Structure 1
Amino acid sequence: MMNKVFCVCLSVFITLLLLQKPNWTDAAGNADSMSKDSEPAGGGGKDLSTLYVTTILEAPYVMARGTELEGYCIDLLEKLSKMLNFKYKVGIVKDGKYGGLGPSGNWSGMIGEVVRKEVDLAVAPLTITSAREDAVDFTQPFLHTGIGILLEKDSALEEASLFHFLTPFSKETWAGVLVAYLCSSLCLFLAARMSPCEWDGSGETNFTFLNSLWFGAGAFTLQGAVPQPRSVSVRIISAIWWLFSIVLLTAYIASFSFILESGSEQISIQTFEDLVKQRHLEFGTMEGSSTLLYFKNSKNPIQQMVYESMNKKKDTVLVKSYQQAIQRVLDSNYAFIGESISQDLAVARHCNLVRSPEVLGARGFGIATPKGSSWTNQLSVAILKLGESGDLDYLRNKWWESNCSQEEHDKWSPLEPQALGGIFLILALGLAVGVIIAVVELSKKCRHTAEQEKKSCCSVFTEELSHRFRTRDEKRQEHAAKPKP
């Protein structure tokens, strides 16, 4: 009888032990026994707590190297263990999922393991969401991200348009060049009208407004144009305009040459609205992910259209892993919607991938702990300290290092007015100086005439201005009205 009671008690005891961490061995065993243990602590290491950690294989957060694990999350866990004095054992999540709420109300993936207290921590690129926060506790984010679009370059680049030659400058810059051209031609016309040196014996100047426009256009083609300036004021304006034209042409040629050589073109899909409107690319995300949930719950019409399109084709456009998503983007006309920070890694590793500029839903990656865990607050404080010390930035730079740095050109964008602001400023000052000198030249002549004719300088100056800005018809009428000798 005693033997039976002893056997029953022993069976119950063994069962309770197995129920404490039943999936730990399974998780590691299902991943070819890949795991990661903390280094043995020296001195009083025997008294340290041992935490069981679940994670998921995703580069560069967690990667397999033989039977060992490495990556951003492993390095982060190592730093946290040294700061908080604990040992850890890491295993791969059994079902290979991040964690989603099933129809029966049970959580899958890493979140499910934390909820069932099969592990103490989930250290992985786990997005902090309201639904997950309701089931587990999260630490402060150790990485910040959003939702972006990953594309293959060849399928995303716009075809060269008929007016591709305008690409080197932005619209604002082209508008500024046009205004500068008109203002310079006008100043050239005004200075030539006021400067006495530009008038010939017949009382005419060659710098009419049309001739001034033609003179300005000649500088753009690096061709000399008639008439030739004779006065100091007109020469100053001409020289400044030529300087402006040469700098502008140099900037244009350099930028356009870069575009032609590097193939730098604007990607056709800049936003999620562009993605919905196009028809040549399929798009999807990872099944059961927080990204899919984000679009499902969004009230934004465009984002609702994205979800409806993915939901209709969920059997074909939803992928099971990031590796599968990247491969599909590379191999077919497919755009992947996912975490922007993971997409940045894909772009760094695959030089023919690109991420669209728009990023939605700013969010963070945190460490998941069971509800009420005493480790949550300690880990949050430690993560904040790592951020303040620059350790998180160091880990980011270490694992997101690009392989394309020597192969790819720097990112190109159209020249904005600010980039050429200095030459615009010099042109404005040169025009002002030229007009002022033209006024001074006219004033000197008026003063000399006033002394000869015994008139006031102001009245002579006014008459001269009136005479110089009369039209040819008015001058002919005035000349015809004069009595013939």
Structure 2
Amino acid sequence: AFQEPYTVSRGSELEGYCIDLISELSKELGFKYKLSLVKDNRYGAMDASGTWSGMIGEVIRGEADLAVAPLTLTAVREAHVDMSTPFMQTGISFLLRRDSASEESSFSLLSPFSTDMWVGILVAFLLTGLCIFLVGRISPTEWAEPDREEHSFTLLHSFWYITGALTLQGAGPHPKAPSGRLISAIWWLFAVLLLACYFGNFSSMLQSNSKHVSIKTFEDLANQDVMDYGTVEAGSTKSFFKNSNNPVYRRIYEHMERKKSYVSSMEEGVRLAQGGNFAFIGEAVSLDLAVARHCKLSRSEEAIAMRAYSIAAPLGSPLVKNLTMAILKLSESGELTYLRQKWWASSCVAVDGAHTSEALRPHDLRDLFLLLGLGLGVGLLLALLELVSRARNQAKEGKKSCCSVMTSELSRRFGSKGESAEQDDSDKSKA
């Protein structure tokens, strides 16, 4: 029977886990085989008259020597056919979206912003502090007489000043020059909008964190009412919960009956789980395949009502003992594990935790960073224009070249204070 990934059709060829399994068994035991698909596309169930359908029926009637498929080993089947040792173990588990799967309070003060965002803020902070310091030194309005006046905007005070602005507290003295005021105003705007984004995301993440219920087991699922859950309407999983005497499983069944939260197929269950507020209960191996195909989903580690898949043969078949030996050898050599990994391989790249996806990234606030960068550039340009204007005026008065005055001004503002003092003393002694 066709069922991904056990048996799938690729043009005229058949491939899948079961095709690989029978190939390995034939190599181990040295027999030849001919593949044929079951006519009614069913695995096998007994009707009221005692007649078997599907693969089990064909094996009983002698139409097939072996049935290789995910056939669950049950007492009823064992009574009518011989079944080998299991080649795969499964159980009942549930599937839900990753961000609903409980990151037990992984929230922290750094969560609202991504790592890249924090790095971006640090770079913006350092650049702004440096620009405030440079403007404080370059602008004649801010520092009119480098030889006589003390420079208030040291590098340390510049960083302290923007730290005060970032926390909305303020730390004087404030810039007097238009260039320094422009950079300060842009930084204040940046800080206010950044804090608004931080606290907005902080609040929404706190609320979503309080809504998230830690759902790791069936007991967790039964004890919460935030998330709906269901299983396929006509299936063995529903029957298990219906017939169970375990109070937790009974509560799960009663919830599904009350909410009518059954689904018509596994595909519908997986789709609802992807939507977010639904946990789909089904067979673990089938759910693992869904997790491998859909990166947003995760499966509970807990599996209940363990069952096994076996190969069926007619009663008294001499093949069964040999098949059991071959399956055990394949298991011990790691071949069964390899086949499982091959056909259940995940196509997902490593996904981050739930809250990481909610964190703001630099791309989300790129306009804010662009505004800050523009403000810093314009501020530095204004400071340089102020200095150029002063240099031109001094050049006209002293009948010197503008470039030499400009170079002299820059060396006075960025040279060491000791050198300036020594120069003043030497000028006075000469006089």
2:332 maps to 1:388? yes
- Look up the match of 1:119: 64
Shift in Å, 1:411: 10
Give the distance between the partners of 1:159 and 1:143, measured in 2 at CA.
Answer: 30
2:295 maps to 1:336? no
- Which is further off, 123-132 or 303-312? 303-312
2:298 maps to 1:298? no
Secondary structure in 2 matching 1:140: coil
Against the structure 1 CA distance between its residues 379 and 410, is the aligned structure 2 distance closer, same or farther, given a 3 Å change threshold? farther
What is the one-letter code of the residue matched to 1:129? T
Give the distance between the partners of 1:82 and 1:125, measured in 2 at CA.
Answer: 21
- Look up the match of 1:374: 318
2:20 maps to 1:75? yes
Against the structure 1 CA distance between its residues 286 and 355, is the aligned structure 2 distance closer, same or farther, given a 3 Å change threshold? same
CA-atom RMSD in angstroms: 3.6
Give the distance between the partners of 1:107 and 1:308, measured in 2 at CA.
Answer: 32
Equivalent residue for 2:39, pick from 82, 90, 94: 94
2:219 maps to 1:270? no
2:97 maps to 1:152? yes
Give the distance between the partners of 1:91 and 1:110, measured in 2 at CA.
Answer: 11
- Map of 1:103-252 to 2, 5 A cutoff? 103-154=48-99, 156-157=100-101, 164-165=107-108
| Kept in 2: contact 1:122–1:368 (CA 8 A) | yes
Against the structure 1 CA distance between its residues 81 and 361, is the aligned structure 2 distance closer, same or farther, given a 3 Å change threshold? same
- Look up the match of 2:141: none
Shift in Å, 1:70: 0.8
Give the distance between the partners of 2:310 and 2:282, measured in 1 at CA.
Answer: 17
TM-score (norm 2): 0.52
Shift in Å, 1:72: 1.0
What is the one-letter code of the residue matched to 1:408? V
Shift in Å, 1:140: 0.8
Against the structure 1 CA distance between its residues 312 and 103, is the aligned structure 2 distance closer, same or farther, given a 3 Å change threshold? farther
Shift in Å, 1:96: 3.4
| Kept in 1: contact 2:213–2:224 (CA 8 A) | no
Against the structure 1 CA distance between its residues 157 and 411, is the aligned structure 2 distance closer, same or farther, given a 3 Å change threshold? closer
Equivalent residue for 1:407, pick from 335, 339, 350: 350
Secondary structure in 2 matching 1:145: strand
Shift in Å, 1:94: 3.4
Against the structure 1 CA distance between its residues 335 and 111, is the aligned structure 2 distance closer, same or farther, given a 3 Å change threshold? farther
- Look up the match of 2:7: 62
Give the distance between the partners of 2:93 and 2:334, measured in 1 at CA.
Answer: 26
Secondary structure in 2 matching 1:123: strand
Give the distance between the partners of 1:383 and 1:279, measured in 2 at CA.
Answer: 44
| Kept in 2: contact 1:113–1:119 (CA 8 A) | yes
Q: How far does the alpha carbon of each residue in 1:215-272 deviate from its partner, in whole angstroms, 9 at most, with x for none?
A: xxxxxxxxxxxxxxxxxxxxxxxxxxxxxxxxxxxxxxxxxxxxx9xx9997642222
Q: Which runs of 5+ in 2 are unaligned?
A: 112-204, 356-431
Equivalent residue for 2:264, pick from 309, 319, 322: 319
| Kept in 1: contact 2:96–2:299 (CA 8 A) | yes
Secondary structure in 1 matching 2:279: strand
| Kept in 2: contact 1:129–1:290 (CA 8 A) | no
Against the structure 1 CA distance between its residues 89 and 66, is the aligned structure 2 distance closer, same or farther, given a 3 Å change threshold? same
| Kept in 2: contact 1:343–1:355 (CA 8 A) | yes
- Which is further off, 285-294 or 135-144? 285-294
Give the distance between the partners of 1:112 and 1:280, measured in 2 at CA.
Answer: 45
| Kept in 1: contact 2:101–2:216 (CA 8 A) | no
Q: Which runs of 5+ in 1 are unaligned?
A: 1-55, 169-259, 413-485
Secondary structure in 1 matching 2:91: strand
| Kept in 2: contact 1:98–1:289 (CA 8 A) | no
Secondary structure in 2 matching 1:394: helix
What is the one-letter code of the residue matched to 2:251? M
| Kept in 1: contact 2:103–2:354 (CA 8 A) | no
Against the structure 1 CA distance between its residues 276 and 139, is the aligned structure 2 distance closer, same or farther, given a 3 Å change threshold? same
TM-score (norm 1): 0.46
Shift in Å, 1:354: 0.9
Shift in Å, 1:385: 1.1
Secondary structure in 2 matching 1:295: helix
- Map of 1:270-289 to 2, 5 A cutoff? 270-279=216-225, 281-286=227-232, 289=235
Against the structure 1 CA distance between its residues 117 and 399, is the aligned structure 2 distance closer, same or farther, given a 3 Å change threshold? same
Tell me which of the two structures has the higher relative contact order, counting C-alpha pairs closer than 8 angstroms and 6 or more residues apart. Answer: 2
| Kept in 2: contact 1:281–1:333 (CA 8 A) | yes
| Kept in 2: contact 1:147–1:360 (CA 8 A) | yes
Give the distance between the partners of 2:63 and 2:259, measured in 1 at CA.
Answer: 35
Give the distance between the partners of 1:378 and 1:264, measured in 2 at CA.
Answer: 55
Shift in Å, 1:58: 2.1
Aligned residues: 259
Give the distance between the partners of 1:167 and 1:366, measured in 2 at CA.
Answer: 51
Shift in Å, 1:305: 3.2
Give the distance between the partners of 2:93 and 2:110, measured in 1 at CA.
Answer: 25
Equivalent residue for 2:309, pick from 365, 368, 373: 365
- Map of 1:37-52 to 2, 5 A cutoff? none
Give the distance between the partners of 1:361 and 1:286, measured in 2 at CA.
Answer: 16
Give the distance between the partners of 1:120 and 1:308, measured in 2 at CA.
Answer: 43
